[in-house]
Amino acid sequence: MNNTQSIELLFELSRPGRRTHRLPVCDVPVKPVSSLLPAGAVAEAPPPLPEVGEIDLIRHYNNLSTRNFSIDTNFYPLGSCTMKYNPKRHERFAANPAFAGVHPLQDEETTQGMLEMLWDMQNFLTEISGLPAISLQPAAGAHGELTALYVAAAYFRDKGMTSRRKVLVPDSAHGTNPASAVLAGFQTITVKSNAKGLVDLDDLKSKLDDSTAVFMITNPNTLGLFEGQIRQITDLVHQAGGLVYLDGANMNAILGITRPGDFGADMQHYNVHKTFTGPHGGGGPGSGPITVRDFLAPYLPTPLVKKVGDKFELDYNLPKSIGRVRSFFGNVGILFRGWAYIRTLGPDGLKKVSEHAVLNANYLLSRLKGNFDVPHGDRCMHEFVASAKGLRREKRISAMDIGKRLLDYGYHAPTVYFPLVVPEALMMEPTETESKQTLDAFADALIAIINEEPTFLHQAPHTMPISRPDEVKAAKEPILRWTA
């Protein structure tokens, strides 16, 4: 849809005197505001918010919504993001006032159902990762990374090993890894990938020493490859006295198949909004619980859910805890959806998720490998990274051109230009919830696109409401708000 109503800003729709929500008259005796608050504290007028009637508000947003691609409308193979179907039943569960209407500081007697659900979730996630202790508090994956690194820092401080100040991060890692390490007060060191796209063991060895605190690894990694030498890697880190952190963004590949705790990780985060279908909300919310080994449990944030007899309690009694990383319990609404998903699938269903995520990715890879460079082999886990490097050289077609043109075909673009170790990267993660028919149609579209006229692709998309925003201008003269 491309009508003009949908591109007018709320502020342009505004007409003095219109409004949507109306308040009842005050049912207690009204006193002059000046008798209740000091004059200097009171605003002369309320904020200059837009004034819009209900039908205009609804049309505005409904029209805006049609200018989005979403899982519910389009195949969305955005690599590393696990854009799987978000079951509708979860939305109904989460909207149930018996959950949505619970205040975070209520007495535990009144929240037993909530705590039972969260207790279950603690158990599910520790079992799936093979790491026995958990905090559900972090609000997203990056927040989980940060929390786990705080835990690591507290552990080393407690053990008197304060010279362990370095966090090693592979060059293929997500940007949040080094950013979280610095935020947690560590210094970051980059570890190279080898030609196969895996951690270069020699480079890792040369960078491990008694200043190493943590090695952060993503496994399967961001190239969609399982680090087959994971045991050697974790042994090396442990021998150097460091801890292994697993970035769990790619858990969708290994549910019930292998567990980070079993392959040597000491801590990991989950992205419940990826693996366990929390809808991504156009940017969030997420939920990023962390699971850790026993010896790190004393440092977790509080509170944790504890079961005493047949009652559930919040446990604040962790004297060595790092403290809180956010207010209240966590992004409970997303945890609840993840819980419902795990309850729906059970152990066999979860394993099937990973099997079909991997099957779908490999099938898509098999359909594309004759037409695209796939620098890291013709097998993958739940995602793979193709490269438009050759196309760029021979036809001047970039990963960006391909991504933009896909939109015309009704497909969201893959993740482009990440991971950084692959030039002209096109990172594709189909997920298990797509059918062979969808994957075939998508592959056909990609193959058709690279045979289109390059100059036509340079101007793509051609059918979307807009095409190629001027990003340089946006950053040079930032306009970050509407002004009258």
Partner 1 sequence: MPYILNTPDDEQTMLKAIGAESIDELFSTIPAEARLPRALNIPAAMEEIELTQHVGALGRKNQAAGDHVCFLGGGAYDHFIPTVVDAVSSRSEFYTAYTPYQAEASQGSLQAFYEYQTLICQITGMDVANASLYEGGSAVAEAVLMAINVTDRKGNVVVPESLHPEYRQVLATYLANLGVQLVTIPTPGGYLDPAELKKAVGPETAAVVVQHPNFFGHLEEVEELVRITRAAGALYVASFDPISAGVIKRPGQYDADIAVAEGQCLGTPLGYGGPYLGIMACRNEYVRKIPGRLVGQTTDRNGKRCWTLTLQTREQHIRRDKATSNICTNQGLFALRAAVYLTALGPQGLKETAELCLQKAHYLADQLATIPGVSLKFNRPFFKEFAVKLPGDVPVMLKQLQTKGYFAGLHAGRWYPGLADTLTVAVTEKRTKAEMDGLVKAIKELVGK
Ligand X SMILES: Cc1ncc(COP(=O)(O)O)c(C=O)c1O
Residues in 400-459 at the binding interface with partner 1, rule: CB under 8 A: 403-404, 407, 412-413, 415, 418, 432-436, 459
SS3 (DSSP) at 361: helix
Residue the block writes with tokens 């066999």: 348
Chosen residue from 56, 227, 247, 434 binding ligand X by CB under 6 A: 247
- Asked whether position 344 contacts partner 1 by CB under 8 A, the answer is yes
Beta bridge partners of 75: 411
- Which residue number has the CB closest to ligand X? 141
Interface with partner 1 in residues 127-146 (CB under 8 A): 127-128, 130, 139-143, 145-146
**E strand or H helix at 58:** helix 54-65
Chosen residue from 115, 136, 142, 265 binding ligand X by CB under 6 A: 142
Q: Are strands 290-292 and 133-135 parallel, antiparallel or unpaired?
A: antiparallel
Distance between first and last Cα of the chain = 27
Residues 6+ apart with CB under 8 A from 172: 193, 197, 218, 221, 222, 223, 419, 420, 421
Chosen residue from 37, 194, 295, 396 binding partner 1 by CB under 8 A: 37
CA 299 from chain centre, in angstroms, equals 24
Beta bridge partners of 373: 387
Chosen residue from 310, 348, 394, 453 binding partner 1 by CB under 8 A: 348
Contact 308, 109 (CB under 8 A): no
Contact 164, 240 (CB under 8 A): no
- Closer by beta carbon to partner 1, 62 or else 393: 62
Contact 270, 108 (CB under 8 A): no
Contact 335, 115 (CB under 8 A): no
SS3 (DSSP) at 217: strand
- Asked whether position 338 contacts ligand X by CB under 6 A, the answer is no
| Residues in contact with ligand X, shown as a per-residue x/- string from 167 to 206 under the rule CB under 6 A | -------x-x------------------------------
- Asked whether position 362 contacts ligand X by CB under 6 A, the answer is no
- Asked whether position 286 contacts ligand X by CB under 6 A, the answer is yes
Q: Which does 316 bind (CB under 5 to 8 A by kind): partner 1, ligand X, none?
A: none
Which tokens belong to 327?
């207010």
Chosen residue from 34, 309, 327, 451 binding partner 1 by CB under 8 A: 327
- Closer by beta carbon to ligand X, 111 or else 221: 221
Chosen residue from 218, 219, 268, 431 binding ligand X by CB under 6 A: 218
Binding site for ligand X (CB under 6 A): 80, 140-142, 174, 176, 218, 222, 247, 249, 271, 286, 288
